[in-house]
Amino acid sequence: MTFSYKSLLVIFVLIFSGGFPMHVLGGAPDDSSFLKQINRPAYVPQEILVRVKDRVDRDDIQALHRRFGGDSMRRSDRSGIHRVRFGKGVDIERVIERYRASGLVVDAERHAVRYPQAAAVPDDPYYAEQWGVNTVDARNAWSIRRTDRTVVVAVIDTGIDYTHPDLQHSIWVNEAEKNGIKGIDDDGNGYVDDGYGWDFADNDADPMDYAGHGTHVAGIIGAMGDNGIGVAGVSWNVRLMPLKVAGDYTTGMESGDILDALNYALENGATVFNCSFGGPYDSAIEYDKLKILQQSGVMVICAAGNKGTDIDQAGNAMYPASYDLANIIAVAASAKDGSMAGISNYGSISVDLMAPGVDILSAKSVKITAAGANERDLYKLMTGTSMAVPHVSGLVALMRARQPELGLDQIKSAILETVVLDPTAAGKTVSGGRVNFYDALGEMLTPGDITGDDRVQLDDLITTLQILTGILPAGPVVFHPGKSDINADGRIGLEEAIYILNQVSH
């Protein structure tokens, strides 16, 4: 069964006449800025741009415009570009074909419109300095998902400063121990008073970071966004589990402590493991533990290393990044210009993709900040694949918040198949490019699902029609050109409404 334009018109009438109940439509006031964002034209109506060949006589091209019924509004003698407008009813695609066949032009195309990308912009004062967030297109991705408190990322590192003002509300809390009796293993997990994770290096319940590395990594993943403080993590509302595997004021990590941390994270509900570390020697025990994590559906994000070498070559391996396991994503570092950083390791077999890793601004441990320092001193720049890894961990957290049931292969393929290709990564990584948050999350959307609940139902149709008629939808609107845009015109329009209508009717 399909619906005609007449059927669609009936639904419009129902909306205007109150045929749909207000608790379905919502009573939100109009917001023209929102509606313009999601229902704005991709092209200037009835206009094309024509690029004229060199040495074509001006009178000849003007005669061509008149012959096709166009009005040449403006031209640039320097670039040879003519802007031509046509009357209503003229078939623009047909006109473009005729221009291209004339022999007088290099090309002709519809006159595209560009817009400022005013996606979700947090009010964190140093957000403008976070070049990596914009490079991975996190702003547009946040319109699809900003995570939620159900997703736990285990940060296996030098600890996390859980008192940092930009992190304290993102720290995972073991409620049974935090609210339990001091000195008693209230939850029976073998760790006494582990309210904020555990320090495996010193075997105590305080995973405070005195080295700074883990706090910086944690800030990239989950510094609280839009809180008017410092920076914004790529996953605003994720929970960060501090698992300290390096002693105070040191960065060396013993594999035995790392194995204990992996086990703790698995038993306490973390589904994304950030491993911004590595070493040159493999371990059968470590491999087996990571394979158990794979069987449990845990994604492990690992650093490729910072020696600028090919880790696929004998003697250059970097573990755990070099393990051939489906749940490992190994990450190289990219520079501000999008190219692979000179310090970054690579490998066409072992290293999956790049992420920002040079001069990354993130949280600095309060414990290593001088007394009397100002707020800006609680943040610092760091460089390395250690900084690239948490960008990808944050993306996986966004994906898991969006669809908790996603399999490891689905997560990995969505990330690798949507990278921004870059020649410096070609032949040096599996994907040949740099992570793109918006497109990876867009892969998870269902065509016609405008409300973002992974189903095409009546609420999607109602929301689409509200947008078309200038009513501000009461609920969420999710839009990605790769999945939501049925007719590829860059907006939610009539074609989307007809498509959804037919889906709902089946």
CA distances from 349 to 87, 435, 439 (A): 56, 17, 23
Higher pLDDT: 362 or 30? It is 362
- Calculate helix-pair angle for 5-16, 494-505, nearest 10 degrees: 100
- 171 in Cβ contact with 242 (< 8 Å): yes
CATH architecture of 127-442: 3-Layer(aba) Sandwich (3.40)
Task: Write the single-letter amino acid at 177.
Answer: E
Residue 337 burial by Cβ neighbours in a 10 Å radius (0-12, 13-18, 19+)? exposed
Residues tagged active-site:
157, 213, 386
Checking if the pLDDT of 36 tops 60, the result is no
- N-term to C-term CA, the chain: 7
Instruction: Choose among 384, 441, 462: nearest CA to 132.
Output: 384
Residues 6+ apart with CB under 8 A from 410: none
CB atoms within 10 A of CB 177: 21
Task: Write the single-letter amino acid at 411.
Answer: I
Q: What is the predicted pLDDT for the residue at 463?
A: 85
- Of these ranges, 67-76, 350-359, 479-488, the one predicted with the greatest mean pLDDT is 350-359
Confidence of residue 8 (pLDDT cuts 50, 70, 90): low
Q: What value does the mean pLDDT take over residues 75-93?
A: 83
CATH architecture of 45-112: 2-Layer Sandwich (3.30)
Distance CA 468, CA 461 (A): 11
Bridge-based pairing state of the strands 379-382 and 360-363 = antiparallel
Checking if the pLDDT of 210 tops 80, the result is yes
Checking if the pLDDT of 498 tops 90, the result is no
- Rounded to 5°, the CA angle 368-392-137 comes to 105
- Classified as helix, coil or strand, 397 is helix
Helix/strand number for the chain, H first, E second: 16, 15
Which tokens belong to 225? Answer: 């966004």
Distance CA 481, CA 55 (A): 39
Distance CA 331, CA 345 (A): 9
Q: What is the predicted pLDDT for the residue at 151?
A: 96
Checking if the pLDDT of 383 tops 80, the result is yes
Q: What is the predicted pLDDT for the residue at 23?
A: 30
Which of 11-20, 71-80, 145-154, 378-387 has the weakest average pLDDT? 11-20
- The percentage of residues in the chain with a pLDDT greater than 70, rounded to a whole number, is 88
pLDDT tens-digit map of 44-59: 888 999 999 988 888 8
Which tokens belong to 337? Answer: 């210009």
- The percentage of residues in the chain with a pLDDT greater than 90, rounded to a whole number, is 66
pLDDT tens-digit map of 123-134: 999 999 999 999
Distance CA 257, CA 202 (A): 9
Higher pLDDT: 2 or 352? It is 352
Q: What is the predicted pLDDT for the residue at 453?
A: 79
Q: What is the predicted pLDDT for the residue at 17?
A: 37
Q: What is the predicted pLDDT for the residue at 167?
A: 97
Confidence of residue 221 (pLDDT cuts 50, 70, 90): very high
Which tokens belong to 118? Answer: 């005013």
Q: What value does the mean pLDDT take over residues 382-395?
A: 98
Q: What is the predicted pLDDT for the residue at 77?
A: 57
Looking at every residue in the chain, the average pLDDT score rounds to 88
Q: What is the predicted pLDDT for the residue at 33?
A: 53
Higher pLDDT: 215 or 492? It is 215
Instruction: Choose among 30, 44, 51, 45: nearest CA to 115.
Output: 44
Q: What is the predicted pLDDT for the residue at 116?
A: 44
Most distant pair of Cα atoms in the chain: their distance = 92
CB atoms within 10 A of CB 447: 15
pLDDT tens-digit map of 307-347: 999 999 999 999 999 999 999 999 999 999 999 999 999 99
The domain segmentation of the chain, as residue ranges, is 5-30+447-505, 45-112, 127-442
